[in-house]
Structures are given as structure tokens and as C-alpha cells.
Amino acid sequence: MKIKRYTAVSMRAALCQVRAEQGPDAVILSSRRGADGIEVIAAVDYDEALFAEANRQRTPAISEAPPQSSDAPQPMKATPVIKAAPAIKPAPAIKATPAAVKTAPATKTPAAKAAPAVAAAPRALPQPIPATSVVAAGNIGLGDMQRELKDLRRMLESGLAGLAGTTSSDKRLRQPLRARVLEELTAMDIAPDVAMALAALAPLHTNLKDPAHIKLALLVKHLPVVNDLSSVNGGITAVVGPTGAGKTTTIAKLAARWCMQHGAADLGLVSTDSYRVGARDQLRTFARAVGVPLHAANSGKELALVLQQLKSKKLVLIDTAGMGPRDFRLVEQLAALKSGAPLARILLALPAHGEAHALDEIVRAFARATPAACIITKVDEAASLGAVISAALRHRLQIAYLCDGQRIPADLHAAHGKRVWLARAALALKERAMPLRSEVHLASNPNRGHVHA
């Protein structure tokens, strides 16, 4: 076991020194901030069992050693345990250690002179030391080391510098709470730019025992949701979105909810999807089930005529054709919708399982339709909700409804009553995925048990 102390201006610089000199298998024993910067003690070929045995063997021997002169400089607390380990010979398991332990020149302290006195201590069994005091002292040191290792592991694994981009290490030191909020938001798959904007709104200090609640509070407070759905429950509403976003199912859910509250007499259903074969069959089947006729419109003029026939209806729902953001026919379809139903409120269907860049492209492509709000669909199929939440926050697109299943209309929820649920669901999905990631990582690296530089 080779132990050495490193001093640098920052933790990153110290870890670079450790990695360059001792390699990737080095183990961080402790770290602290001193007058010269960050001080890190690292070791190679670290054996936890050997370290504990050496510490246990040396404790009674020190009690019999002659007292040192008060004028001699006192060694550091952690150094004697590490230096004295090679000099202890009675334990058979430690016989091979003197050849393996190589003390680096940078770690020489006055404790090296005390090693012969410890080795020359009498072989007689010393008076036993109360177990409670030894265990208590050991637990205090071990607890401090575990906390330092935990903080260091989180710093190394989070990749906060890469995710934050413009956030410097000096700023993280000056604003640790905001840095933690930023780290936790990015762990939920919130986009870096959105996470940085939210973290900037976090307080600099808090009295909360568990600061982990801050990220949820920020999400709940700043989620753009439609608080008043009275405008959606009447008039003309059209649902647009890409292929496979669940527009037709969402139209059926909205229609079923209206029928349950107001009846089917004042409901009108219109489909403008003339591109896919059999596209209207699903909605036509539902319309027959509730006793509402389905009207078809293949152009802007036909849509205007149909809406003129349905002007006595209190609610008219328009189902549009699903098209990708790069489809050249999208501009034509949105133009026909605008010309045929200029007073219609547009709702954009966003699939929750979509990737971040794809959702951002969808919002930008359908922005020419000027959607009043969005409907997050297929929440039950999503492995993460960070991408769709980021898209809504980035474009300030209000959320009207959440859809988390195929049941009509049970799986349609007003967003204003589900904002806390949405934030908690986003966190729960990532926490549920963390054990799986850990198992995969351990399977690829079975020797992982310590923090490596």
C-alpha cells in the first residue's frame, strides 16, 4: 500500500495529480481544505481489512509506549496509524506488509521517529482499554471519512461542470445550495438551460432539514399550467400534433367528458385527416357509441362549411391529421385549419416519451399554428418526464391536460390539479431507473467499492 499526500488549488487539480502519479486505481482516503488549498491523501493497493487490523493492533501498543517529551513536535492524528502499520510484527496477516508499504517522501513527519519505540514495546499483554471509548473514537473518524467519500463520489459522478457549462467551480463553492439544485434537476433529465434557469431562482440558504424538496418546489411553482379550463370546455377546439401522439384518443376523451357533464346533444365532432387510410374509423366508432355524428372536412373551405352547420353546438372538437415536424404538407394543413376555423383554440399534443430534441422540434414546427396550450399524452409510456417538462418550460407553453392511459375518459386529467403529481412522477421515474443503472455498472466493474481518482 503506497500512501501520499497531494496539495492543489482545487479538488479537480488534486485529483489530476493523483491520477497522473498513482493511476486510476488510487483510493482517496481523506480530503480537507487548508491554507494552501485542497489537501488530498490517496493510496494505491488499499486493503480495508488490513487497515482496520493495523489500527486495532496498534491501539494497545501505544498505551505502553513511553511518553514523549513535551518539546517534541506532535504528529498529525491520521499519520501515526498509517506509519506504524509496517512495524507491527505479532499479527501473522501483517508480515507481508512492510515490503508492500512504501511511504512517499512527501509524507515524512515526526511520527516516523516514533515507530521504533512502538515496535520495541513489551510483548506482555497491556491493560485492556474500555471498548466503548475505542469504538466511539473509531466511529467518529469513520463517519467523517464516509461523509467525505460520499461528497467526493457525488462530485465525481455528477459531472456538474459538464452539465452546467458556464457555471465555474468558484461559483459552485460560493453557492453550494444552488449547485445542488442544479445537479438534482439535471439528474431528472431537465435540460441544462432550463435547469440553470430554475436553479438561479433557488435561495442561497435554507433552513430545511432536507434541501432535496427545493427542486420539487421550483418545478411545481414554475410549471406553466392552464388554471381555468372554462375556455376549453366550449367553443371550437382543434388538437394538432405529430403522428402517433394520441390526438384521436385525446379527442375521444374530451368528447366523453363533455357527454358525461352536458350530454351529447351539444357536441360536434369533425375530422380533417384525409391522408391516412382508415384514419377516421377509430373516431367514427366512438362517435357512434356516444350518438354523435362525425363530420369530415378535406380542405379549409369544407371545414368552414361544416363549422357553419355546427354553429349551434356548444362544443366542436376537430381532429387533425398527424404529421411530423419536417413533413412538407404540415404547412398546408395548418394553413387550411387557420382559414377554415380562424376562431378555433389550438391544443398541441406532446408525447411524454419523446426525446428532448424531437419535442423541441415539434413545438417549433407547430408554433405557426399559435397553440393556446398543450396536452401531454402517453405519460404512462414515458421512461422520463424531464424532456417534456423542459420543452413546456423553455417555450412557455401552458399545459392543459395530462393523459396517462387508454381509458376513456378516466385517463384524462386537468393539469392544474396535477402539477405536484407531475413533478413527483418525474422524480420517481428517475429514482426507479437508478438501481438498474447501478446494477449494470457493478456488473461491468465488480471490484467497485471505493472512490477512485
Report which residue type is found at 366.
Answer: F
CATH of the domain at 262: 3.40.50.300
Mean pLDDT of 383-395: 92
The lowest-confidence range among 146-155, 285-294, 409-418, 422-431 is: 146-155
- Considering the domain boundaries, does residue 352 fall inside one? yes
64 and 112, same structural domain? yes
180 and 247, same structural domain? no
Give the range of the structural domain holding residue 256, as residue numbers without chain letter. Answer: 235-433
Select from 99, 128, 148 the last residue of a domain.
148
* 348, containing H or E segment: strand 345-351
Total domains present in the chain:
3
> How far is 223 from 212, CA to CA, in rounded Å?
18
> How far is 302 from 439, CA to CA, in rounded Å?
58
166 and 142, same structural domain? no
126 and 180, same structural domain? no
pLDDT of residue 77: 43
327 and 287, same structural domain? yes
- Considering the domain boundaries, does residue 181 fall inside one? yes
Higher pLDDT, 113 or 421: 421
Q: At residue 364, does pLDDT exceed 90?
A: yes
Q: What is the DSSP string of 170-181?
A: HHHHH-HHHHHH
Mean pLDDT of 319-326: 87
Q: Which backbone phi and psi does 116 adopt, to 5 degrees?
A: -60, -40
- Considering the domain boundaries, does residue 227 fall inside one? no
Percent of the chain with pLDDT over 90: 22
Mean pLDDT of 95-110: 43
Computed from CA positions of residues 201, 207, 212, 216, in that sequence, does the dihedral angle turn out positive or negative?
negative
What is the residue whose three cell numbers read 357533464? 261
Could you report the per-residue pLDDT of 182-191, keeping only the tens digit for each?
888 888 889 9
Show Cβ contacts of residue 407 under 8 Å, excluding neighbours closer than 6 positions: none
Higher pLDDT, 16 or 317: 317
Select from 208, 227, 245 the last residue of a domain.
208
pLDDT bucket at 157, cuts 50 / 70 / 90? low
Q: At residue 112, does pLDDT exceed 60?
A: no
Q: Which grid coordinates are listed for 396?
A: 412557455
Computed from CA positions of residues 352, 358, 363, 365, in that sequence, does the dihedral angle turn out positive or negative?
negative
The lowest-confidence range among 220-224, 278-282, 399-403 is: 278-282
pLDDT bucket at 436, cuts 50 / 70 / 90? very low
Q: Which grid coordinates are listed for 38?
A: 485542497
> How far is 372 from 352, CA to CA, in rounded Å?
18
Under 8 Å between Cβ of 2 and 101:
yes
Report which residue type is found at 242.
Answer: P
pLDDT bucket at 316, cuts 50 / 70 / 90? very high
pLDDT of residue 314: 92
347 and 258, same structural domain? yes
Q: At residue 422, does pLDDT exceed 60?
A: yes
256 and 193, same structural domain? no
244 and 177, same structural domain? no
pLDDT, the chain, mean: 74
Q: What is the DSSP string of 87-103?
A: G--SSGGGTTHHHH-EE
pLDDT bucket at 30, cuts 50 / 70 / 90? confident
375 and 253, same structural domain? yes
> How far is 85 from 81, CA to CA, in rounded Å?
6
Could you report the per-residue pLDDT of 196-227, keeping only the tens digit for each?
898 888 877 766 666 777 888 888 889 999 88
Q: At residue 291, does pLDDT exceed 60?
A: yes
Could you report the per-residue pLDDT of 47-76, keeping only the tens digit for each?
666 556 655 655 554 444 444 444 444 444
163 and 142, same structural domain? no
DSSP classification of residue 452: B
Q: Where are the beta strands (DSSP E) in 94-169?
A: 102-103
pLDDT of residue 207: 67
**Cis geometry, peptide bond prior to residue 126 (ω within 30 degrees of 0):** no
Number of Cα atoms under 13 Å in the Cβ half of residue 347: 30
Q: What is the DSSP string of 76-89?
A: PSSHHHHHSGGG--
Higher pLDDT, 98 or 244: 244
Q: What is the pTM of this model?
A: 0.58
Judged by DSSP in three states, 61 sits in: helix
Computed from CA positions of residues 46, 47, 52, 53, in that sequence, does the dihedral angle turn out positive or negative?
negative
Q: At residue 421, does pLDDT exceed 50?
A: yes
174 and 119, same structural domain? no
- Considering the domain boundaries, does residue 71 fall inside one? yes
**Exposure string for 296-318, b = 16+ CB within 10 A, e = fewer:** ebeebebbeebbeebeebebbbb
- Considering the domain boundaries, does residue 226 fall inside one? no
Under 8 Å between Cβ of 17 and 54:
no
- Considering the domain boundaries, does residue 443 fall inside one? no
Show Cβ contacts of residue 370 under 8 Å, excluding neighbours closer than 6 positions: 346
> How far is 276 from 153, CA to CA, in rounded Å?
53
pLDDT bucket at 138, cuts 50 / 70 / 90? very low
93 and 131, same structural domain? yes
Q: At residue 146, does pLDDT exceed 60?
A: yes
